[in-house]
Amino acid sequence: EAGVTQFPSHSVIEKGQTVTLRCDPISGHDNLYWYRRVMGKEIKFLLHFVKESKQDESGMPNNRFLAERTGGTYSTLKVQPAELEDSGVYFCASSQGVRSTDTQYFGPGTRLTVL
Amino acid sequence: AQSVTQLGSHVSVSEGALVLLRCNYSSSVPPYLFWYVQYPNQGLQLLLKYTSAATLVKGINGFEAEFKKSETSFHLTKPSAHMSDAAEYFCAVSVPPSKIIFGSGTRLSIRP
């Protein structure tokens, strides 16, 4: 069974540009999450999809970030325009259930560098 | 509000020595706790999780953790370190309904 995949693995962009990150969850997982780790800091929750609906987007830092999950399969996270402080590693995770005890399976992350 | 604190950003042990990574939690409700590991160039992998069924939780690769309510701790241990255990380890707590809050991580180095 394929795990959570993320694309690209690395992205280097200039400040003010736009970047789109993609996440493909494990097949059959209705729940999809985005997290971010800024250098030297904790991994922080960004948002949670149940199928194509945003269940919780309390962690989204500002309106420069837009997450979508059309059709309830893969998800994209767009940053527009990117700022220096957006640099970090963006992780995606998926789970079958939505209970607090359900395991979230993480992808390898996308390392974003904004110059 | 739930939170976790990992003591020590970097721990170094000799191969074959005991591994002890410390985690303390804060929670207003009975917590669900996790340990994740990130090997170089890989994603986060679940090592083990505490869901109130048993206070001593055994995970993959010989790791285990004990939930101690009186000490609000969930320390991760392994009796004998292997070189392959070198990685970054994250303690985490689940915030209902499904958000995870992570500690700042502990990087484990193994000396030959």
Residue A76's nearest CA partner among A111, A32, A44 is A32
**pLDDT value of position A13:** 97
Shortest distance between the Cα of A55 and any Cα of chain B, in A, equals: 10
pLDDT surpassing 80 at residue A78: yes
Structure tokens at B63: 């790791």
Structure tokens at B40: 């170089």
Average pLDDT over residues B59-80: 95
- Mean pLDDT rounded to a whole number for chain A: 93
Average pLDDT over residues B78-94: 96
At A62, the amino acid letter reads N
Average pLDDT over residues B67-77: 95
Rounded distance, CA B54 to CA B104, Å?
26
**pLDDT value of position B51:** 87
Between chains, do B98 and A95 touch, taking CB under 8 Å as contact? yes
Q: Chain A to chain B, count of Cβ pairs less than 8 Å apart?
A: 65
Average pLDDT over residues A54-83: 94
Rounded distance, CA B112 to CA B25, Å?
32
pLDDT surpassing 90 at residue A20: yes
Which residues, at least 6 apart from A37, have a Cβ–Cβ distance to it below 8 Å?
A43, A44, A88, A89, A91, A109
pLDDT surpassing 90 at residue B97: no
pLDDT surpassing 70 at residue A1: no
**pLDDT value of position B28:** 80
Between chains, do A42 and B103 touch, taking CB under 8 Å as contact? yes
Which DSSP string do the residues of chain B spell out, in sequence order? Answer: --EEEEE-SEEEEETTSPEEEEEEEE-SS---EEEEEE-TTS-EEEEEEE-SS-SEEE-GGG-EEEEETTTTEEEEEESS--GGG-EEEEEEEEETTTEEEE---EEEEEE-
Mutate to test the interface with A, among B91, B99, B104 (most CBs of A within 10 A): B99
**pLDDT value of position A72:** 83
Average pLDDT over residues A92-104: 86
pLDDT surpassing 90 at residue B90: yes
**pLDDT value of position A8:** 96
**How far from A115 is each of A44, A91, B83, CA to CA, in Å?**
22, 20, 36
Between chains, do A91 and B44 touch, taking CB under 8 Å as contact? yes
Shortest distance between the Cα of A1 and any Cα of chain B, in A, equals: 15
Peptide linkage before A25 cis (omega within 30 of 0) = no
Structure tokens at A76: 């994209």
Rounded distance, CA B89 to CA B25, Å?
15
**pLDDT value of position B47:** 96
Between chains, do B98 and A103 touch, taking CB under 8 Å as contact? no
Could you tell me if A7 lies within 8 Å of chain B, comparing CB atoms?
A: no
Average pLDDT over residues A75-91: 96
**pLDDT value of position A2:** 79
The residue among A39 and A81 whose pLDDT is bigger is: A81
Q: Summarize pLDDT for B42-57 with one digit per residue, the tens.
A: 889 999 999 887 899 9
**pLDDT value of position B21:** 98
The residues in A 42-81 lying below 8 A from B, measured between CB atoms, are 42-45, 48, 55-56, 58-59
